[in-house]
Structure 1
Amino acid sequence: MTVSDLNLKYLQAYPEHLQNQVRKLITEQRIDAYLEQRYGQRHDIQSDKALYRYVTELKQKNLRNTPQIDKVLFDNRLDLTHRALGLHTAVSRVQGGKLKAKKEIRVASLFKAAPPEFLEMIVVHELAHLKEHDHNKAFYKLCEYMLPHYHQLEFDLRIYLTAREL
């Protein structure tokens, strides 16, 4: 198998020269060392309660004027087959004669074992959806505001996901 034969489904939107660099890391069996060097730690957020505190602290720091988040949890059903690592929802319920929307953020359970930088990137992504619903320029600008190296982390997260599949 040559370097160019490796299919990198998480990196398909990136330029060919970046994909080739990742393919080289894979064929030289250095992808784990690359990730370990850059992201060697694990976080200690293992419960839904701790995740809720973490998310609300990030929200308070960056997005004070957005609606309160009612529920935050790690979700075992979110995974790569559904192409969702995080999810933000507004669940509408009738209370009395009014319709109330409860804001929820769900994070894929695989992030319990991920480096803290990747958990932060996913949380920032979902928080940004509180203000910007679409993945447009304003959305990514907000992500960069909350997390200055957002795009690098997103790229490295895709490398991490690729390494997990190998």
Structure 2
Amino acid sequence: MADIKYLAGYPPHLIEQVAGLLQAGKLGAWVANRYPGSHDIQTDRALYDYVSELKQRYMKNAGALAKVVYDNNLHPMRGTLGTNAFVSRVQGGKLKSKNEIRIGSLFRDAPEAFLRMIVVHELAHLKVKDHDKAFYQLCCHMEPHYHQLEFDMRLWLLAREAEA
């Protein structure tokens, strides 16, 4: 069970099922069958447009996005898949704020559903800073299958590491 690091907190029967698939070498095929293909959001500009469209659809009143980029320094082994930074600066007599979202570069190769889940997560931080009930309600508002996608993304990460 030590190899199932991304599933801490999930029920033991679920972890056992995943461990069985992982040991049989079938986890990657299961995830690929459930989420076939990839996406064409490969550049920072395309990612910015993708995130902006979701923000415009669900969070019109949230602060503007100054930057949205793929970041090579974000990695699940270091505990981050995406980050949201909020910076305030005084310019003259006004307070200017900037929101910046960084998504781990590994999501260039991910199924679009997983990229969307990470983007939804980071967009939700524009309104709610903590991972509380209101935060997850907002995530589920933007992506109704948020919790399933989060679990499946964890399986995808396990499968990637097992194949490497």
Query: When the two structures are superposed, what TM-score results if normalisation uses the length of structure 1?
Result: 0.93
1:71 corresponds in structure 2 to 67
- Tell me, in whole angstroms, the C-alpha distance in 2 between the residues paired with 1:134 and 1:19: 27
1:130 corresponds in structure 2 to 126
1:50-88 alpha-carbon deviations (Å, 9 max, x no partner): 000000000111111111111100011111232010000
1:20 corresponds in structure 2 to 16
1:9-34 alpha-carbon deviations (Å, 9 max, x no partner): 10011111111110011122211110
CA positional deviation for 1:41: 1.1
- Tell me, in whole angstroms, the C-alpha distance in 2 between the residues paired with 1:75 and 1:93: 24
Query: When the two structures are superposed, what TM-score results if normalisation uses the length of structure 2?
Result: 0.94
- Tell me, in whole angstroms, the C-alpha distance in 1 between the residues paired with 2:141 and 2:18: 27
1:42 corresponds in structure 2 to 38
Identity value in percent: 56
For 2:12, give the aligned amino acid: E
1:121 aligns with 2:117: yes
Work out whether residues 6 and 23 of structure 1, in 8 Å CA contact, stay in contact via their aligned partners in 2: no
1:150 corresponds in structure 2 to 146
CA positional deviation for 1:7: 2.6
CA positional deviation for 1:40: 1.1
- Tell me, in whole angstroms, the C-alpha distance in 1 between the residues paired with 2:88 and 2:151: 34
**Aligned length, in residue pairs:** 162
1:80 corresponds in structure 2 to 76
- Tell me, in whole angstroms, the C-alpha distance in 1 between the residues paired with 2:62 and 2:98: 13
1:107 aligns with 2:114: no
